[in-house]
Amino acid sequence: MAKVEVTIQLKPSLMDAQGVTINKALHNLGYNEVKGVRIGKFVELEIDGDKPADIEVRVREMCEKLLANPIIEDYQVNVAAGNPALEVREPRTAHATKPRVEDWRGFHMSVSEYEALDWKERGNLHAEFQQLHGDWIEQQMQERGAKWILVVEGAVIAFGLSWQDCPNSLELGEQCLQSQKMHWLFEKLLCIEETAWSPLSEGDCYPTISLEIVGNNPSVSVQLTADFDSGSNATLVGESTLRLAGLLPSRLMLIQTASHLGRTFQYASLPLSVLVTDESGNRQVGEVDGAIVYGWEGSPFTSINPRREALVGRNFLLSLPACIELDGITRHTRITKVSSG
Amino acid sequence: MTFAVLVFPGSNCDMDCHHVLSNVLRQPVDYVFHHETDLSKFDCVVIPGGFSYGDYLRCGAVARFSPVMQAVQDHVAAGKLVIGICNGFQVLLEAGLLPGAMVRNDCQRFVCKYVNLRTESTDTPFTRRINKDAVLRIPVAHGEGCYYADEQTLRELKEKDQVVFRYVSPEGVVTPEANPNGSVENIAGICNAERNVLGMMPHPERCSEDLLTSVDGRSIFESLLAGSV
């Protein structure tokens, strides 16, 4: 018999009316240090079974069907809780268990099977591994001081101390095809700081930058007006924008997941050739690491500004590099200098 | 037109619905209990308000798995009509027969009062006898009536003209003050893309007789009958 604990909470994007009320009540009691309250549910299950991985899969199914409403709620499953009889995955810190073949369907996956999946399924697979073996991944990165690790058949075959040398989705895809083995990349989370993310209200606007993404054949390009966000180190573009412009390689792309504003999104990493023109007419093409976001229109990046075409972060500014003046008076962005100018 | 009024443990508007359909509209109506599995002899199923299964876990979450709900799924698939009122709307959302979800009222209170509804779509069997943009006075009574849907779902609802009622001012204007529960875009009622399932938080069965302060609810039931000839 195993004891399983499930916690269920409203998604962060939803206002928690109960939490707001309790927050106020705590302030009335003088606990002014309380800066936020969110209230959830705690469910304790007693379950027949002795394989934690199997139990977890079943309980997640229960959550999806009944215990939580995935439209409005997130849930966490903890199989460990107070059950010494059962051998379970240790929480963070201690020795995280090595991923076992039977734990994860991705182990048995051939490259051609993976290619047959759509982007959502590929993303789910990546997220599933992260969920099942998050502790193990973190331990591997911690031991090596790595920013990213590459996992093949449950073993770390490569890692990097910086993001600079991290293989992109295209290169990884080629490695998969050559070796006929699935390569799984796990990175320290794509860093998008949540600063200034209050909804765009009247009188508030995002600085924008005009840019052009060009292909190997310079006649193929797409012009974009991107929101500039210095709180993000990533540059993000919608997958369909690039695909429709003919700028997306048709070769195998590995799809990863990350989360932003509490919501998961799927992306592939790909270097982008970005062309900007400064106000004196100098043109500069720079290579910027791009995150190609699948399902852009339903993604967290368009939930605040639905008209957003792309989001450029600090890596754009630093890779190109360019000198940019954000003019709050005229509300225009001036690209005053590019490095060749 | 033959009506079924579903009865779950905790339903409490079932008798009101039965009364309006049988005594006011003079239609054949049966109560159907949650453990039954056949709805084939009915044209329209009413899922009434109340607190099915004590609103345990989430409103409508448990009712959704009762045997009669499989029959409701079949009924909907056959293109027949379903109207879910209040808790009935919550059950339809949990069952996935309508998109979105319901959360607690943003004001944290149980709201029980008359509201004004603007008829956004008359292209449904439930509203075809109502003029577009007509304002109906119908009462609400709920603690968890804050409708939520993500941006994409909202976009689809609007594209397909699935928003049937919005909370408005007496003049018919969408304002934050007119919104009793914090529902996204003041949405009070929606239908499915096939237009045979309606869910609404307000209670038309509570205002369908001259004896009461409003008869505006009756126009919804009369719309249903108008199509059955």
pLDDT tens, B150-169?
Answer: 999 999 999 999 999 999 99
Task: Determine the Cα–Cα distance for residues B62 and B54; give it in Å rounded to an integer.
Answer: 9
User: Among residues of chain A, what percentage have pLDDT more than 90?
Assistant: 16
Residue that terminates a domain, selected from A19, A46, A80: A80
Return the CATH superfamily for domain B3-226: Class I glutamine amidotransferase (GATase) domain (3.40.50.880)
Cβ <8 Å between B182 and A15? yes
Cβ <8 Å between A71 and B57? no
Name the amino acid, one letter, at B144. Answer: E
A214 and A299 share one domain = yes
Location of structure tokens 């604990």: A5
Task: Determine the Cα–Cα distance for residues B27 and A334; give it in Å rounded to an integer.
Answer: 71
A215 and A181 share one domain = no
Query: Containing domain of residue A52, as a range?
Result: 2-80
The answer to whether the predicted template modeling score (pTM) of the entire model surpasses 0.90 is no
Q: How many CB pairs under 8 A join A and B?
A: 43
| pLDDT score recorded for residue A217 | 80
| pLDDT score recorded for residue A97 | 55
Structure tokens at A12: 């962060």
Stretch A263-267: mean pLDDT, rounded? 85
Cβ <8 Å between B148 and A72? yes
- Phi, psi values for residue A138, rounded to 5°: -65, -40
Structure tokens at A36: 């936020």
Does the annotation count B86 as an active-site position? yes
What average pLDDT does chain A have? Answer: 81
Domain CATH code at residue A21: 3.30.1280.10
| pLDDT score recorded for residue B16 | 97
A306 neighbourhood in chain B, CB within 8 Å:
151
A10 neighbourhood in chain B, CB within 8 Å:
103
A150 and A54 share one domain = no
Catalytic residue of the set B17, B86, B146, B207: B86
All structural domains of chain B with their residue ranges: 3-226
Stretch B34-60: mean pLDDT, rounded? 95
**In this structure, is residue A109 part of a structural domain?**
yes
Cβ <8 Å between B65 and A66? yes
Cβ <8 Å between A20 and B94? no
B151 neighbourhood in chain A, CB within 8 Å:
298, 302-303, 306
Instruction: Read off the pLDDT of residues A203-228 as tens digits, 9 standing for 90 and up.
Output: 677 888 888 999 888 788 898 888 88
Chain A interface disruption, residue of B55, B58, B91, most A CBs within 10 A: B58
A130 vs B: CB within 8 A: no
Does the annotation count B205 as an active-site position? yes
**What is the full DSSP assignment across A48-64?**
--S-HHHHHHHHHHHII
Catalytic residue of the set B18, B75, B142, B203: B203
Q: b/e for B133-165, b at 16 or more Cβ within 10 A?
A: eebbbbbbbbbbbbbbbbbebbeebeeeebbbb
Residue that terminates a domain, selected from A45, A80, A115: A80
Q: Which residue has the higher pLDDT, A155 or B7?
A: B7
- Could you report how far apart the first and last alpha carbons of chain B are, in Å? 9
Chain A interface disruption, residue of B62, B69, B103, B179, most A CBs within 10 A: B103
**In this structure, is residue A172 part of a structural domain?**
yes
Is residue A168 very low, low, confident or very high in pLDDT (cuts 50, 70, 90)?
A: confident
| pLDDT score recorded for residue A161 | 82
Does the annotation count B203 as an active-site position? yes
What's the CA angle centered on A121, arms B90 and A42, to 5 degrees? 45
A131 vs B: CB within 8 A: no
Task: Determine the Cα–Cα distance for residues B217 and B198; give it in Å rounded to an integer.
Answer: 14
Cβ <8 Å between A69 and B107? no
Say what the alpha-carbon torsion angle B170, B172, B177, B180 is, to the nearest 10 degrees.
Answer: 80
Domain count, chain A: 3
Report strand pairing: A208-214 vs B111-119.
Answer: unpaired
Task: Determine the Cα–Cα distance for residues A60 and B21; give it in Å rounded to an integer.
Answer: 42
Cβ <8 Å between A17 and B94? no
**Contacts of B77 by beta carbon, 8 Å cutoff, 6+ apart:** none
ipTM of this predicted complex?
A: 0.80
Residue that terminates a domain, selected from A80, A115, A132: A80
